[in-house]
Structure 1
């Protein structure tokens, strides 16, 4: 079977994730982040899950997403429906999933050319509040 090297034109790619680190472009990030193929915002949110509010979620909108992947740490959690409504009113799909699942999905969707934004929370920061 013939294999071809595919070099991505994307500026930001997720290379790995574990309980304490998200690796972007082979550089470890130890804070919760917002990332798109073109932009990265580090140290996005830290605190108990219940304190993730509309103001923090609105920071995601600055990335002008088509799809938002909310990585909710080691377990799947859901934001309040009123927060989801803010995205839906702007025709932005939002999905809540574990952070590792959001990282995998981010890579797939960006490879397809979709304008996806991943807001990725690390479990250690959710408990830090």
Structure 2
């Protein structure tokens, strides 16, 4: 699916599909094919190997971003993080919302375009 965001200074997701997410537009467009964290202030880094490999240390990386809310895109279906995993976010008083990766991409764009300090952590499960 292709997304056409309104003009915004925030890093935006411009498309997504099985195993990939598009970031930016024009000459700066990039297709990312690994699990990734994106932030509305321009943060971008590779994240976690798979859902089964997640642990508190992965969510501590998100807490260190000091955003208002983290959106966790858990892949093609909703898989909730264990309470122990998200403890670093709770301690930092950062909200977390879990949804499938497609919904996470759309929600991130909306919040980022509103000027919110938000990060999205995306699990990009590779198609079989």
Scaled by the length of structure 2, the TM-score of the pair is 0.84
Residue 115 of structure 2: aligned partner: 113
Matched residues, number = 119
Residue 44 of structure 1: aligned partner: 47
Residue 3 of structure 1: aligned partner: none
Identify unmatched segments of 5+ residues in structure 1: 1-5
Residue of 52, 55, 78 corresponding to 1:53: 55
Q: Report the alpha carbon displacement of residue 42 of structure 1 after superposing the two structures with TM.
A: 3.2
Equivalent-residue separation in structure 1 for 2:12 and 2:40 (angstroms): 7
Deviations 1:52-88 (A, max 9, x none): 0111221112221110000001010001112233312
RMSD: 1.8
Residue of 30, 39, 45 corresponding to 2:33: 30
**Preserved CA contact (<8 Å) 2:72 2:97:** yes
Equivalent-residue separation in structure 2 for 1:77 and 1:7 (angstroms): 32
Structure with bigger gyration radius: 1
Helix, strand or coil at the partner of 2:102 = helix
Q: Which runs of 4+ in 1 moved over 4 A?
A: none
Scaled by the length of structure 1, the TM-score of the pair is 0.83
Distance 1:62 1:74, change over 3 A: same
Residue 98 of structure 2: aligned partner: 96
